[in-house]
Amino acid sequence: MDFHDFVAALRRRWRFVTVCVLLGLAGAVAATALLPRTYTATAQLFIATSDATSGDAYQGGLFTQQRVKSYTRIVTSPAVLDGVISELGLRTTPGHLSQKISAQSPLDTTLVDIRVTDGSAAQAQTIADETAVQFTKYLATIEGSSAGAPPLVKASVVGGSEPPSTPTSPRPAVNVAIGLLAGIVVGVGGAVLRQSLDTTLRSADDVRTRLGLTTLGVVPPPGGPRKRNGSTRRTEALAQLRTRLRFAVGDDIPHSVLICGALPAEGRTRTAVDLATSVARTGRRVVLVEADLRRPRLAAELGLRGTPGMTGVLTGQASLPEALERVEGGTVRVLPSGPVPADPGTLVCSAEMGKLIRALEAEADLVVVDSPPLLSFADAAALASMTQGVLLVVRSGKTRRDDARRALDTLAAVRAHVLGAVLTATHAEGLADWQPPGDGDPQAPGTTARHPGQKTADRTDRVPVAGPRASMTSARAALPLRAAPATGGVTRAHRHHD
């Protein structure tokens, strides 16, 4: 992960980092409020020699410094603390009291600093002062010389007696600093870790770098604020997708497009309906085909019931005009799936399905085909080989890289013409770098499906999926096309379908 990826991870997961920082600060404040306050009192002793015959003062100082190292351990001994407990009337034992007392000697000095911690400032100072007194008495006992002579070393109290005015624990500033630092470390570390373990595709840049595909559209979820002209971010994004689709296979929009995805719930059907509606608003003739015979839901969402649909046309039970229905005020014609057959895969993969798509291409400017998931059924791969182009739907934050690559491998196996990707459930931004396809652009829309590491297939190796319009008319003649009923197509109210 380079610096760019690090910054991208923080921008993408800034909410997680913010939550961690706030939790760290909240924990620091809670600890400061809940921890009991403790005070530290001090008493200082000066150790000196009293032997007048010791002669050299320098030698006497060295002698005292060596002794002081042992005196710091004697301060917390039971011999000293028993006297403290007795004099102050404390209800404790020398072992428990020694946990509150510490002693140390500054380097190259003959001083002994006694520190006592307690919840009461006055009590802490009283214990510190009494400990100094008891240590002085005990030192005179153990360092005493012959009878009638002064002790070789004596201790004098030179500091203490003033209770501390501020508690030493908790320390609010230190606690807040620690909580803030801990929150930043956990938040940033967690964001980077989650970014490293996240295998989903979230942006157009991920689609380009991980899959080698150009993102033709970044479509946000439905809803959101409307602009003055009544449009939303989604309608604007669909208009951009429609415009970019014009340059996917040359100078005009492809005759047929398959909308497919790796797994369910990626927004294929919604994308197909909205794309068909967006193109129809430009005055083009559009046919929407529900080729998902596994879990067909488009007809029910659009209010199309009791129609023979695609199944009736393929089995010869109905003509194509009879099966077509009109929605969106009559601007879009829909071929519903019809009754679910016993073997949907065989019906979709049949030669009649290819003839049906050819016939629809001859009747319309654009045929949008909805399909089942690529990795779940073989239907989508068969349909991909029959249409002029394929749009791979990738749901931001849900579609995983491995699943998308497997879907591309499946499309490459049938030599499908992948025009690009449509990123759904995200914000419509980040496509300013999109360019119409060029002859030497390996990531240009309209290339044959390939693995990200595979070289671009030569144009002469591509299998043409749609022929000229003249050949489409001849293919249309192979279908049982009868005259439409006098009532014509049924106009239905358009509703989005997820």
Domain-wise residue ranges, the chain: 3-35+170-197, 39-159, 204-492
| Cβ atoms within 10 Å, residue 144 | 13
User: For residue 450, what are the contacts with CB-CB under 8 A and spacing of at least 6?
Assistant: 212, 408, 412, 456, 457
Element of type H or E holding 334 = strand 332-335
State both tokens at 426. Answer: 């995200």
Confidence at residue 434, expressed as pLDDT on a 0 to 100 scale: 43
Angle subtended by helix axes 3-12 and 14-34, to nearest 10: 70
Residues 414, 456: Cα–Cα separation, whole Å: 15
User: For residue 211, what are the contacts with CB-CB under 8 A and spacing of at least 6?
Assistant: 201, 401, 404, 405, 408, 421, 452
Confidence at residue 331, expressed as pLDDT on a 0 to 100 scale: 81
Which superfamily is assigned to 39-159 in CATH?
EIF_2_alpha (3.30.70.1130)
Confidence at residue 59, expressed as pLDDT on a 0 to 100 scale: 61
Global pTM exceeds 0.75? no
- Cβ 285 vs Cβ 366: under 8 Å: yes
Confidence at residue 391, expressed as pLDDT on a 0 to 100 scale: 95
Residues 395, 373: Cα–Cα separation, whole Å: 13
What sections of 198-256 are H helices per DSSP?
A: 204-206, 233-246
Confidence at residue 225, expressed as pLDDT on a 0 to 100 scale: 62
Which superfamily is assigned to 204-492 in CATH?
P-loop containing nucleotide triphosphate hydrolases (3.40.50.300)
Residues 241, 225: Cα–Cα separation, whole Å: 20
Count the residues in the chain. Answer: 498
pLDDT along the chain (498 residues), means of 10: 79 90 94 90 83 54 74 89 91 91 86 91 91 88 66 77 85 92 94 86 89 91 64 84 83 89 90 91 92 85 80 91 82 89 89 93 93 92 93 92 94 93 75 45 47 39 36 39 35 38
Same fold yes or no, 39-159 and 204-492: no
Q: How many CA atoms lie within 13 A of 165 on its CB side?
A: 0
State both tokens at 27. Answer: 């924990």
